[in-house]
Amino acid sequence: MSPTAPWREPMLAALDEARAALATGDVPIGAVVLDASGAEVATGRNVREAEGDPTGHAEVVALRAAARTLGEWRLDGCTLVVTLEPCTMCAGAAVLSRVSRIVFGAYDEKAGAVGSLWDVVRDRRLNHRPEVVAGVLATESTALLDDFFRARR
């Protein structure tokens, strides 16, 4: 079995969240947080346009919702599943929330901070380093973003 196989269903849920962001003109990025047992505890999508919030990235929205649901800011044992490689803000939020794992779809060569441009989550100077699983349903995630930006041009 492929190492990305267990993440297919959660990534499909994140892609559904990403598609929902299209309704508000937001960049279609979606995220899901799973607890240690693999149960979905929160979702999020980009809401920067919808809410006029520069921190309204899918990952931040999902991490905040997970903390509310679990009643704890420390998300030990949780997995953040997101359609696009997190930026520096979102990678930092994942580290600070203590998620155990980050699973992402498409790589972000322009702003990715989980290995592409920077590698915030593996920086040995930080006190927490989550496991990373990259490239899960990357083709689907990339196509959704490409279609969005092609329509804007």
| Domains of the chain, first to last | 5-151 (3.40.140.10)
Mean pLDDT, residues 40-59: 98
The model carries a pTM of 0.96
Measure CA 62 to chain center: 8
The pLDDT > 70 percentage for the chain reads: 98
- Residue 85 annotated as catalytic: no
**Which residue has tokens 């297919």?**
8
Task: Say whether 128 counts as a known binding-site residue.
Answer: no
How much is the pLDDT for 5? 83
Strands (E), the chain: 30-34, 40-45, 79-84, 101-106, 131-134
**Which residue has tokens 């929160």?**
42
Question: Is 39 exposed, middle or buried, given 0-12, 13-18 or 19+ CB atoms closer than 10 A?
Answer: exposed
CB atoms within 10 A of CB 83: 32
CB atoms within 10 A of CB 111: 15
Mean pLDDT, residues 37-44: 98
Candidates 51, 59, 109, 131; catalytic one: 59
How much is the pLDDT for 4? 73
Task: Say whether 90 counts as a known binding-site residue.
Answer: yes
Task: Say whether 78 counts as a known binding-site residue.
Answer: no
Measure CA 147 to chain center: 19
Confidence of residue 1 (pLDDT cuts 50, 70, 90): low
Q: What is the CA radius of gyration of the chain?
A: 14
Mean pLDDT, residues 73-91: 98
How much is the pLDDT for 153? 83
pLDDT in tens, 87-132: 999 999 999 999 999 999 999 999 999 999 999 999 999 999 999 9
- AA identity, residue 153: R
pLDDT in tens, 3-23: 678 999 999 999 999 999 999
Residue 75 has pLDDT above 60, yes or no: yes
Report the DSSP beta bridge partners of residue 103: 81, 133
